[in-house]
Structure 1
Amino acid sequence: MSSPHPRPLPVEGRGEGRSLGASAFEVIDERGRGSAAQLGEVLRDCNVDVNVVETRMRRKRLLVADMESTIIEQEMLDELADFIGAREKIAAITERAMRGELEFEAALKERVAMLAGLDASVLDQVAERITLMPGAETLIRTMKVNGAYCALVSGGFTVFTERIARRLGFDEHQANVLEIAGGKLTGRVVEPILGREAKRLALLRLTAELGIDPRETIAVGDGANDLAMLEAAGLGAAFRAKPKVCEAVAAMSNGAVLTHGDLTALLYLQGYAESDFSG
């Protein structure tokens, strides 16, 4: 729970509480989600996130993260669209796909097709626009220092995930591949497309390969194509997500919705205090 000034909370029967830092406070309460709903109602107008997590296996051994609008602040197809004068059109399709109004794979193909003939050198120019989501560096560094395996799994493109994975220290990255021929984008994505189900399977593959209990995993994303992955994780976090995504994750027994905090909120959810942060 995010709060700039932790103080006693007017919730009947609350359990033991402790401050995790300047912007987070936790309450141990065996009543679970019913108590959280009551607390959420009390704090509805305070711009804080209230979530319930299991105390067992709370610190996760595997992080699987979406990239665009999650680990970074941009949607890279929208940025590429600037170079063909179609940002508004492509961004509208992106928004609808992330809200779950369009099938992800079809929407991806439609947007990439508009880029046919674009010089591949533009990819490097667009990469220079990337800015990290606040808290991203601290999240990855802290989890890795504590022995977690971190994977970047994106419905975007490897040309960008490779850079971000290297910059932040992700152990691996997985994404779609833009087809390039003669130094230009062909307007096609190399099959198979990494979509909603592929994200879920990536998480399950990693748990099997690393010998990690699925309950010891945390996944984070913002779009409808992340939902299957979030549901498969021990803790699935919707980060500044679309309304329908927040609604779906809030209904999950393993779900957490983060609207106000930055990515360090994922550390607080795991029981890390600010004094435990690295980087």
Structure 2
Amino acid sequence: MVKGLIVCDMDSTLIKEEGIDCLAHKVGKAEEVSALTRAAMEGRMDFGDSLKKRVNLLRGVDLQTVLDLSQQLTFTNGAIELLHLLRLQDFKIGIASGGFLQMMKPVLQMIKPDYILANSFEIKDHKLTGRLDRPIVSAQSKKEAALLWAQELRLSADQIVAIGDGANDIPLLQTAGIGIAFCAKEVVRNQVTYHIEEANLMKVWDLLQSLHRI
């Protein structure tokens, strides 16, 4: 019997890096892309507008560059342990991310989530076109995906645990029974009940134990 659903952001949550910023650094676009990422994560710019501009700056990047970089991304301390322990407690795992599927493959192969929502680069002739190949993952779509997954599992919103760090995670964090701002931007901390400031996801396990959820 499924006891709960944990829904995690990817960049700067399950992994230490912001994937698109790492890619931008590799191809000489770091300053422009990082500024747009910060503006979106701090709530100073609409996430969709920011993402479209960031992706457009990466037009012409070879897909192999993206795939090579994906091998270098690193899990946040405690990430693997947390997800392993939650599976043993009959939790299902969902990823709701504004990051890109092409950069997540090694991570996804390791954690094998039950559900995944993420953006995807449009690819033509093995190069990024500067566009996405599907609708942008927005703050609202993260929330809606989590509720849909919970419904499929016959769980209530109260049985969702959500973890994120950016402004585009706020609706998800506020909808979940336990929404956790993880090493988050101030705009997120101000709107979410539970905060973790140490970059170790096993602190989520400690919090859930203290709340008698596991």
Q: How does 1:242-253 map to 2 (within 5 A)?
A: 242-249=185-192
Q: Deviations over 1:129-171 (max 9, x none)?
A: 2010001011100000111000111001111334322212322
Confirm whether residue 152 of structure 1 aligns to residue 95 of structure 2.
yes
Aligned residue in 1 for 2:72 = 129
Confirm whether residue 186 of structure 1 aligns to residue 146 of structure 2.
no
Aligned residue in 1 for 2:195 = 257
Aligned residue in 2 for 1:93 = 36
Q: Distance in 1 between matches of 2:92 and 2:135?
A: 25
Q: Deviations over 1:62-114 (max 9, x none)?
A: 00000000000010111111233111221111111100000000000000001
Give yes or no for contact 2:117–2:142 (8 Å, CA) kept in 1.
Answer: no
Aligned residue in 1 for 2:139 = 196
Percent identical pairs in the alignment equals 34
Q: Deviations over 1:208-239 (max 9, x none)?
A: 11101211110000000000000110000000
Cα RMSD (Å) of the superposition? 1.8
Aligned residue in 1 for 2:175 = 232
Question: Structure 1 unaligned runs (5+)?
Answer: 1-58, 250-254
Among 62, 65, 83, the residue aligned to 2:8: 65
Report the Cα offset of residue 60 of structure 1: 5.7
Distance verdict in 2 for CA 1:83–1:260, change over 3 Å: closer
Equivalent residue letter for 2:135 = P
Give yes or no for contact 1:161–1:173 (8 Å, CA) kept in 2.
Answer: no
Confirm whether residue 83 of structure 1 aligns to residue 26 of structure 2.
yes
Q: Which moved more, 1:91-100 or 1:80-89?
A: 80-89
Q: Distance in 1 between matches of 2:127 and 2:115?
A: 27
Confirm whether residue 143 of structure 1 aligns to residue 65 of structure 2.
no
What SS does the corresponding residue of 1:225 show, helix, strand or coil?
helix
Q: Distance in 1 between matches of 2:46 and 2:144?
A: 18
Report the Cα offset of residue 256 of structure 1: 0.3
Q: Which has the higher helix share?
A: 2
Normalised to the residue count of structure 2, the TM-score between the two structures is 0.94
Q: Distance in 1 between matches of 2:44 and 2:3?
A: 32
Question: Structure 2 unaligned runs (5+)?
Answer: none
Aligned residue in 2 for 1:268 = 206
Q: Distance in 2 between matches of 1:200 and 1:116?
A: 29
Q: Which has the larger radius of gyration?
A: 1
**Count of residue pairs the alignment pairs up:** 211
